Chains A and B, each alone.
Chain A
Amino acid sequence: MAEDTSGSKALLEYIVKSVVDNPDEVQVTEAGYAREKILQLQVAASDMGRVIGKGGRVINAIRALVQVAAAKEGAQVTVEILE
């Protein structure tokens, strides 16, 4: 997070790394445009369930929070999970 200036990206990394068993395998790549960001998230296969949660509960909560950070940056953000 230190080298990254984007609040939404840093927030996504922080949250995901804080709930998985393999934080070193968490990768977030930014795509899209300045105002319509796409954050692509990669995690270890064994952590997939943890990040998505029952009925998508975890990923939805993560999206809600990342969107708050993005709004502060004047952007819309989509969080995608890459398999």
Chain B
Amino acid sequence: MSREIEVRGQTVDNAIEIGLTKLGLNRSDVIVDVIDEGSRGILGLGAREAVVRLLPMTPAVPEQKAEPAPARPTPVKPTPAKVAPTPTKIVTPPVPPQTPVIVQQEETAVTPITSEELALERDTAVAILQTILDHMQIEADIHTAVTEPDDMTGQPINLIEITGPDLGVLIGPRGDTLVSLQYMARLIASHQLKNKANFVIDVEGYRERRKQALARLAERMASKVIKQQRPVSLEPMPANERRVIHMILRDHAAVYTQSTGEGSQRRVRIHPKR
């Protein structure tokens, strides 16, 4: 069984649909690579079919597999769950003063956060998470750390790490439950603090693993763009994941990245540099 399949359809969405049916997978189980967006042409003249390539992904949490995945070598080697007894620091790469790379400003700029505000947000977040975990009857450890100032917003961010046995349920298929957990915890914290909470929650190093998988994807797609000398679009991703791709490729000699599309359809497009 081939790892990737290429599908044609009238539109990109149509082609994706056909491909997913072929693979028997959900939209969230594959990375979509738009090869040709197709064109309706004018009055049916010059119409081109859309071509997409679907790359099945193995979920980072195998026990969460919802659909029977096709047997194939795992491209994403799950790194052993990081046991972090001590808070870890996320070190972001140094920013060169000037980069020709087009990186979209994804985060909204905020006023500088003080260390008191950070500490208050951290304590609020930990209390909320502890309550949620208690109600879920999940025993886990909560560690906190503050990231280096983010190189896009210049703000340090509270990182709340949850570690413990059997936390796959907190991550969910493709990280969906973790997304919900962070969303609700931020919403509750914002309500309590009367101020927008911006902390990041990670469970068992999932975000870190996902970041590494995205980094590999970025490198692979960049090589492809160089080889074909034409732009490639990645699947739609949330802002933080698009950012990982932008960051990885920002210093790349031969490609640059851009985000296109709106809302949940926003995706990274990798272009060859001329």
Alpha-carbon separation in the docked complex, A18 to B179 (Å): 18
Interface membership of A65, Cβ < 8 A: yes
Task: Flag if A68 contacts B128 (CB, 8 Å).
Answer: no
Task: Flag if B136 contacts A7 (CB, 8 Å).
Answer: yes
Per a CB cutoff under 8 Å, which of B135, B169, B192 touches A11?
B135
Interface membership of A44, Cβ < 8 A: no
Task: Flag if B135 contacts A7 (CB, 8 Å).
Answer: yes
Task: Flag if A19 contacts B180 (CB, 8 Å).
Answer: no
> How many residues of chain B are within 8 Å of chain A by beta carbon?
21
Alpha-carbon separation in the docked complex, A69 to B170 (Å): 10
Task: Flag if B136 contacts A14 (CB, 8 Å).
Answer: no
Task: Flag if A15 contacts B180 (CB, 8 Å).
Answer: no
Task: Flag if A60 contacts B135 (CB, 8 Å).
Answer: no
Task: Flag if A64 contacts B177 (CB, 8 Å).
Answer: yes
> How many residues of chain A are within 8 Å of chain B by beta carbon?
21
Given contacts A14-B131, A19-B187, A71-B169, contact A65 B177 (CB under 8 A): yes
Q: Which residues of B contact A11 (CB under 8 A)?
A: 132, 135-136
Interface membership of B191, Cβ < 8 A: yes
Q: Which residues of B contact A19 (CB under 8 A)?
A: 184, 187-188, 191
Measured CB to CB, the nearest residue on chain B to A63 is B180
Task: Flag if B132 contacts A72 (CB, 8 Å).
Answer: no
Interface membership of A58, Cβ < 8 A: yes
Task: Flag if B183 contacts A14 (CB, 8 Å).
Answer: no
